[in-house]
Amino acid sequence: MSIQSIGFVSETLKGHQDILEEIGIVWKRVDGLEELALKSFGEDNPISESLGYAAVHMMNTYIEIEKNTKDSVNKLPRELFRDPTEQLSVVQTSKAYTLQELKAVDLGKETRPISLEIEGQATYVRSWTDLCVKFVKWLVDEGILTASQIPILNHAQGEKYFINTERKHLFGEKDAAWKRVGDFFVDTKYNADAHVKNIRSTLRDVGRANVDVKITFR
């Protein structure tokens, strides 16, 4: 490949990256407006819902352009690139991570989900709390989680429950933030890493460790 061709490729990829960055800025702005609307008007307000849908649309646009860029890059000669095998240690926005992949990812305090995908069906989520509620609701709706299996311990398998039939842990004084899901209650007071571990341990406890779960981040 000539120097001129390499230069053209470089400029083209830079153009793609610039567009991605601009879309990312808009996406984050819409995401911030949604947070403001949620605080001001609540989840059921039409403004909050519209901004939520807009955030998802921007995310999908970002993912589509990113995918098209990667497809273009994959067709280029490998000598143009450095070794791409470096392992990621921090979460990437727009990438759908499996529960297995998340074992190798450092989920910081500011990491927030935007999508939960179970068995190929993705749904928008506003927060870790919303994600956990929708995860447990899926288990209930699919008939996987039943009253006979409750309580479900959290990932530490100690004195705190992840799911119970009442708003309390084994020892009632333990801190919690319970959310109702049908006949059950889910404790959502955990950090990002613990939320993922709770999902993984719950699937194991109900005998469905092979369920395909993916999480996408803001």
The predicted-structure confidence for 2-13, as pLDDT tens digits, reads as follows 444 445 555 666
85 falls within a domain: no
Indicate if 30 and 70 belong to the same structural domain.
yes
* pTM listed for this prediction: 0.60
Q: Which domain holds residue 211?
A: 96-217
Indicate if 142 and 205 belong to the same structural domain.
yes
Indicate if 76 and 112 belong to the same structural domain.
no
Strand partners, 163: 152, 186
Instruction: Write down the pLDDT at residue 85.
Output: 44
Question: What secondary structure, in 3-state letters, does the chain show?
Answer: CCHHHHHHHHHHHHHHHHHHHHHHHHHHHHHHHHHHHHHHHCCCCHHHHHHHHHHHHHHHHHHHHHHHHHHHHHCCCHHHCCCCCCCCCECCCCCEEECCHHHHCECCCCCCEEEEEECCEEEECCCHHHHHHHHHHHHHHCCCCCHHHCCEECCCCCCCEEEECCCCCCCCCCCCCEEEECCEEEECCCCHHHHHHHHHHHHHHCCCCCCCEEEEEC
185 falls within a domain: yes
86 falls within a domain: no
Please give the C-alpha separations between residue 164 and each of 105, 135, 153, 192, in angstroms, as whole numbers: 29, 15, 8, 21
88 falls within a domain: no
Domain boundary pick from 80, 104, 121:
80
| Confidence at 25, pLDDT banded by 50, 70, 90 | confident
Indicate if 72 and 123 belong to the same structural domain.
no
Domain boundary pick from 47, 80, 113:
80
Instruction: Write down the pLDDT at residue 99.
Output: 93
Instruction: Write down the pLDDT at residue 177.
Output: 92
* pLDDT tens figures, 45-95: 888 888 888 888 888 887 877 777 766 656 655 444 444 444 445 667 778
Number of compact structural domains in the chain: 2
Domain boundary pick from 52, 80, 108:
80
48 falls within a domain: yes
Please indicate whether residue 198 or residue 53 has the higher confidence score (pLDDT): 198
91 falls within a domain: no
Cα angle: 165, vertex 194, 162; to 5 degrees: 5
Instruction: Write down the pLDDT at residue 2.
Output: 43
